[in-house]
A and B are shown apart, each in its own frame.
Chain A
Amino acid sequence: MAHRILQIKRWLFTTNHKDVGILYLVTSLYFFIIAGTLALLFRIQLSVPENDFLSAAKFNQAVTNHGLLMVFWFLSPLAFAFANYFVPIQLGAKDMAFPRLNALSYWLLLFGGLLVLAGFFVPGGTADFGWTAYAPLNTETFTPNPGANLTAFGLLMLIASVTVGTVNFLVTIFQLRAKGYKFLGLPMFTWGIFFTVLMMLWAFPSLQAALTLLAVDRILGATIFEAPKAGLIWDHLFWFFGHPEVYIVLFPGLALALDMISVFSRRPLFGRKVMIGALAAAAALSFGVYAHHMFMTGIDLSYLKIHMLTTELISVPFGIITILAIISMLGGAIRLTTPMLFAIGSIAVFIIGGFSGVFNSNPVLDIANRGSYWVVAHFHYVMVGAALFALLGGLYYWFPKMTGRMYNETLGKIHFIISFIGFNLLYFPMFFLIDMPRRIFTYPEWTGWGPLNFMATIGGFIFGLSHLIMFANLLYSLRHGPLADKNPWGAWSYEWMIDSPPSEFNFEGIPIVQGNRLTIAMADGAVTSMESHGNHLSPWPLLISLGPFLFLLGLGLWIAEAVFSLPLMLVGAIVFLYAVYGWFRDDFHERFKFEEPPEYKERWPFTNIHRVKLGMYFFLLGDAVFFAGLLGTYVFMRLEAGNTLPGLITHNILLGLLAVLLMLWSSVFMYVAARAAKLGNKTLALAGISLSIILALSYLVVTGFDWLAVFSAGFTLSDPAIASSATTALSHAIHLIAGLAVAAYLALKVWIRGFTGHVPETIDSLSLYWAFLAVVSIAIFTITYVF
């Protein structure tokens, strides 16, 4: 009994990257089953014309949540399950750079997903505006469903999870490689994850900006997205995120397929560096192609032509990767094991998906493709075909490593064959449904779409049910499969050099790479002491995510006028504050210490930057996009929405200048504190932090006065320009308040305990954060006050 409780505690409080990886894996498969069931439900509805299996409202809810759950809570988390488990091992590291943040990232993801699912149980139904949530359909006027609020909140929690995870992975990849491990030597999978997180860093803040504005609309009663032409700004924000998102889903799978092809044909990848370059080029280009989703919106033709060019250009790197992958097999000793079959299948469907994508790159061809089943077929070939097949292959590939047991090879191959046939039967007919609109819940018989849809439904069931074979196979093998070797595939990335399953810290000693070969230097005292440093369990990541979950659930239900919403919000707030307090307390006593000695790590090109500061740099790079999105919306509203007033008239310019001045001074004093902390001058550091806090507080007060004046002059949030600039100011204030909490805590810690642990570096990172907020306040002033 005690053992069982210990087990539960281990899974809830774990911060070990492999445990978190398993949690990701189980969660993503759980969401896969839910989203897949939704898909089967609406495939039944569509199988014959004029069917009434689902009502229009239920169909729309099913389609919307199928898209959201599959993309955000299944495909990416499945890729990141592997990334969590294997990227640190492939780098030769013992854990992620920030293990607790890693756990936090998982719990935020889980609770975000539960929030979205909770929407189904709210009276009035959940979101039904499609996963693209086009404005103004997503506003309260047109979608009053309270569940839609929960969907927006769930997505915001997901973005929080993604932001934390992104920073964590970037710092890990940059600073935790084993000594002597050069960047170019990393396995393709790690490269794929590297580019994925880079894209995530810049893509998700754009969605965050859009969703923040939407939340202001839906909760505070603003009408930003109901303003004339506001649908376009949603399009820009959404697709600036949405197109990179396709590659975010695709890259880990594609890279994994390349690794598997190389392993199972026992050949090195042909043109490996070119492939890495191609991935880099595609990642960079992915931000400049999004307007091909907007060919029919009537925006400027020359802008569309540029995006037509880039969209066609982005097919070049992918073409190169595909052909090189095929040539890599040439002359190999190919073993057609289950993972290899999935890898080849992934490439095979990716070719079709890629070619059909080129058809979408042209405004003339888009006249037929836009909003039709051609597009549905295309992106399912890419996201389901290429990404999912490769990831399922990865599941088979790494199963022996994760569990220490082999799965049944025959059943695996049967799974591949059935799912491959089912997949093509499901999606290939959709190419011929080029004139059938997406997301219609039924269609008249005279359209003649019946037979093809019926075929697709049959394929859908074959494809969906085929995965039961996999589940049965893997669940049985978990207990009864034959024991697996260290390296059953003869692969060469470093996870295959250690035990299956790996021990808690992966490597018993210090991993060092010499001439492309990993050797384990025998442990010296410094390293072993780190491992014996006790407790790695922390309840705070779980509680810190549970708090917002309860709070947002209450807030969403409050709009649905449920009685227990207020207590829920209260409990949520208390849990959150208690968890933050607990995290700070742990940090105060330095109970949780994990740092691999930097002298055993390859940290190029950030050799001399502390991991906390590097993480802060990456976070701020992403955050800049968030504020750019908000300010861009304000500019759009001022130019396009009509009858909005310039900031010069609505705001008091003097107060604005004063506020900027206060923020700048505050940031200067934080910098002084950081320098003083580095030199070890306690008095000066304390003085700097406290003065900075005082100035930041007065900044908040002065800005608050200014907004009070704006609202008392008769302006309300129904003015879209006021609402969008208020959202920007509010976001900035929330950033600042979070920073103030950390600053106050650090001042306390320095006062009582002096400069222990990595306090000086934390203060240094905080001063960076403060400088960023000062720059943002200048941007807010110049754009929303003067323009």
Chain B
Amino acid sequence: MFHYPFNPSELSETAKLWWDLFGFYLAVALILGAVIYASLVLIPVLYSRSRKSVDEIKPGVVPGDRGKTLYLAMIVLLIIAAFMSIFVESYISVNKLASLIEDEYGVNVDNLEQLQPGEVDGALIIEVRAFQWGWTFIYPNGVESDVLYLPEDRLVIFKVTSDDVFHAFAIPDLRVKIDAIPGQVNTSWTIPEKPGTYRIQCYELCGVGHAEMITKAVVLPQDLFDFWYKSMGEELKGLEGKG
């Protein structure tokens, strides 16, 4: 049914992080949800029309209740415990998103948007420009393309901006998404791990062409990517030389 794997964790580093967290949330939701749903369905069925209990409520009387404080406190504590575990887990994951590249590549995540090509070893910095209605990807060697080519197993940093209106740049399968805002450079990163072709699409309504703002990201093995990158660069130099 799903053209893409429901679990995208093998596709990229960010997708792995996403899947771990999503699974945790899903587990908490399913366990709590099962208990709550069971009681929500069972209680009305069990107590339906049972006239056994006393009809103690009379019109004009606002009901009050006492003596069940302990019971109540337990419920509150249980919910707060569930909340705490979710909060701790999500806090860790947010920090992990930053520290993953900070530790391995020594990137300062606080000012990614000021990062220049060549500053970080082994990282590829791609400028993404969104416009009504399409994308331009600009590589460090000056190559401009409307299809995104990515190397496998290498850190890719996207510097995303927009020429006109609010867009959102996303490669959903690799779990990359960041807003493209005119006048501002936003950054996002990933490490693609599986060669293949993935969908790139705009995720913020940007006018009548929104649905057609769709292109593809091609993840190539390292050597193939290098070959493409070099040959495109040389072609560009050749063109400049002639001009």
Contacts and interface: CB of A to CB of B under 8 A. Distances in A.
Interface string A426-442: 00000010010111111
B93 to A, nearest CB: 5
A367 B48 contact: no
Given A355-B29, A358-B25, A363 B60 contact: no
B183 A271 contact: no
B57 A305 contact: no
Interface string B35-69: 01101100110011111110111111111110010
A347 interface: yes
Interface string A665-691: 000000000000000000000000000
B123 interface: no
B75 to A, nearest CB: 5
A368 B14 CA distance: 11
A268 B79 contact: no
A444 B3 CA distance: 12
Contacts of A355: 29, 32-33
Nearest to B181: A231
Contacts of A516: 60-62, 64
Given A134-B204, A270-B68, A359 B75 contact: no
A60 B62 contact: no
Contact of A231 (B51, B166, B176, B211): B166
A441 B211 contact: yes
B199 A312 contact: no
Nearest to A130: B205
B164 A271 contact: no
Contact of A137 (B61, B165, B173): B165
B239 interface: no
B205 A142 contact: no
A347 B44 CA distance: 13
Contact of B205 (A137, A227, A372, A496): A137
Interface string A492-523: 10101100000000000000000011100000
A274 interface: yes
Interface stretch (B82-90, B144-152, B217-225, B226-234): B82-90
Contacts of B60: 492, 494, 497, 516-518
A137 B207 contact: yes
Contacts of B58: 492
A362 interface: yes
Interface in B175-229: 175-179, 181-187, 199, 201-211, 214
A364 B36 contact: no
Interface string A112-145: 0000000000000000111000111100001100
Interface in A543-560: none
Contact of A136 (B2, B40, B72, B164): B164
B139 to A, nearest CB: 22
A364 B210 contact: no
B98 to A, nearest CB: 8
B12 to A, nearest CB: 11
A228 B21 contact: no
By CB atoms of chain B within 10 A, which of A272, A324, A333, A444 has the most? Answer: A333
Nearest to B175: A367
Contact of B179 (A296, A331, A336): A296
Given A142-B164, A228-B182, A298-B179, A362 B206 contact: no
Interface residues of B, number: 87
A229 interface: yes
A446 interface: yes
A403 interface: no
A334 B47 contact: yes
A228 B184 contact: yes
B22 A365 contact: yes
Contacts of B156: none
Contacts of A424: none
A371 B168 contact: yes
A265 B47 contact: yes
B90 to A, nearest CB: 4
By CB atoms of chain A within 10 A, which of B56, B76, B168 has the most? Answer: B76
A20 B217 CA distance: 57
B14 A497 contact: no
Contacts of A134: 165-166, 204-205
Interface stretch (A197-205, A314-322, A694-702, A708-716): A314-322
Given A362-B93, A372-B203, A437-B201, A229 B183 contact: yes
Contact of A368 (B33, B37, B62, B175): B175
A497 B59 contact: yes
A268 B57 contact: yes
A55 B211 CA distance: 11
Given A231-B166, A329-B44, A348 B37 contact: yes
Contacts of B185: 298
Contacts of A322: 36
B65 A272 contact: yes
A364 B98 CA distance: 11
Contacts of A432: 2
A783 interface: no
A333 B55 contact: yes
Contact of A57 (B68, B94, B208): B208
B172 interface: yes
A358 B29 contact: yes
Contacts of A368: 18, 22, 172, 175, 177
A229 B184 contact: yes
Contacts of A313: 83, 87
Contacts of B72: 270-271, 274, 324
A530 interface: no
Nearest to A442: B211
Contacts of A371: 168, 170, 177, 203-204
A709 to B, nearest CB: 30
Contacts of B61: 492, 516-517
Contact of B65 (A232, A270, A364): A270
A312 to B, nearest CB: 5
Nearest to B20: A364
Contacts of B172: 368, 372, 435
Given A334-B47, A494-B60, A308 B94 contact: yes
Nearest to B177: A367
B236 interface: no
A333 B49 contact: yes
Interface string A713-750: 00000000000000000000000000000000000000
A358 B65 contact: no
Contacts of B184: 228-229, 232, 298
Interface in B1-37: 1-4, 14, 17-18, 21-22, 25, 29, 32-33, 36-37
A358 B27 CA distance: 13
Nearest to B211: A440
A326 B209 contact: no
Nearest to B47: A334
Given A271-B68, A316-B79, A297 B186 contact: yes
Interface string B132-162: 1000000000000000000000000000000
B39 to A, nearest CB: 5
Given A297-B181, A438-B203, 10 more contacts: A137-B165, A262-B63, A274-B76, A297-B179, A333-B49, A355-B33, A358-B86, A437-B210, A438-B205, A516-B62
Q: Which 4 A-B pairs have the closest CB atoms?
A: A228-B183, A268-B63, A371-B203, A298-B186
22 contacts: A55-B208, A56-B211, A57-B208, A227-B183, A266-B53, A266-B57, A270-B68, A274-B76, A313-B83, A323-B79, A327-B75, A333-B47, A334-B50, A335-B48, A351-B33, A365-B21, A367-B175, A368-B18, A435-B199, A438-B203, A446-B3, A452-B1
Interface of B: 1-4, 14, 17-18, 21-22, 25, 29, 32-33, 36-37, 39-40, 43-44, 47-53, 55-65, 68, 72, 75-76, 79-80, 82-83, 86-87, 90-91, 93-94, 97-98, 113, 132, 164-166, 168, 170, 172-173, 175-179, 181-187, 199, 201-211, 214
